[in-house]
Copies of this chain bind each other. A is one copy, B any other.
Amino acid sequence: MGKQVISTPVVRRLPRYYRFLGELECEHIERISSKELAQRMGLSASQIRQDFNCFGGFGQQGYGYHVGELRTIIGEILGVDAHTPMILIGAGNLGRALAAHLDFEKHGCELIGIFDSNPELAGTQAAWLTVQPMHTLVGFCRTHQPQAAVLCIPKDGAQKLCDQLIHLGIRAFWNFSHYDLRINNPDIIVENVHLGDSLMTLAYCMHHSE
């Protein structure tokens, strides 16, 4: 039962597999071969087989993969039913949009609190939650023990707030601020989402193709 380390590229493909298998389920397709899945996803069949094999072979020779079963397994690997408690800091445009737009529970998390440093926003609604002022953060964390935080704040205060949150028990950050958090503790997980970078990449590709 040696816990082999899974490489980053494989991990980043897992959610995509999960999504495509969900689509197949919607189409009531019960079985799929690596070849067929590869065509749908624009990958190579052997990559798919290699990826799935990181977690142990759950296909059948001469048959392929059971869609439902495979999706369940990948869901378990990803931890989609974990309901990790999560807070969101920064109830501006983006913060509110994320809270409203994204189904956290279907992705392994549960949004349990929203905070903003602007006192005027405290008390307003964001999605189904009430925005709380920052001074209640410490007490809230003591009581509800959130594990992860979404950061939708300007870059200036980001690093300081991040350090504070680590002290309060947060061990994972989903970071939307235009800033790369710098954390020396390797147990703290950071997922940076730099929308500006993504847009620039698009601009680059347009600029360099005709």
- Which A residues form the contact surface with B (CB < 8 A)? 6, 11-12, 14-16, 18-20, 41-42, 77-80, 82, 84, 92-94, 96-98, 100-104, 106-109, 147-148, 171-172, 174, 178, 180, 182, 187, 189, 191, 193-209
- A204 near B11 with CB under 8 A, answer yes
Instruction: Using CB atoms, name the residue of chain B closest to A99.
Output: B93
- B198 near A193 with CB under 8 A, answer yes
Total copies of this chain within the assembly: 2
Q: Which residues of B contact A147 (CB under 8 A)?
A: 206
Instruction: Using CB atoms, name the residue of chain B closest to A95.
Output: B97
From the candidates B104, B106, B182, B205, name the one contacting A189 in the complex (CB within 8 A). Answer: B205
- A171 near B203 with CB under 8 A, answer no
From the candidates B11, B18, B102, B207, name the one contacting A195 in the complex (CB within 8 A). Answer: B102
- A84 near B12 with CB under 8 A, answer no
Q: Which residues of B contact A174 (CB under 8 A)?
A: 198-199, 202
A-B contact pairs, 12 of them (CB 8 A): A12-B197, A12-B201, A19-B178, A94-B97, A96-B97, A97-B97, A101-B195, A102-B195, A108-B200, A172-B205, A174-B198, A189-B209
Instruction: Using CB atoms, name the residue of chain B closest to A147.
Output: B206
- A180 near B16 with CB under 8 A, answer yes
Determine how close the nearest CB of chain B comes to the CB of A9; give it in whole angstroms: 11
Q: Which residues of B contact A101 (CB under 8 A)?
A: 92-94, 195
Q: Which residues of B contact A107 (CB under 8 A)?
A: 196, 199-200, 203
Assuming the contacts A19-B178, A206-B171, A206-B189, asked whether A199 and B104 have C-beta atoms less than 8 A apart, the reply is: yes
Q: Which residues of B contact A206 (CB under 8 A)?
A: 79, 82, 84, 147-148, 171-172, 189
Instruction: Using CB atoms, name the residue of chain B closest to A190.
Output: B202
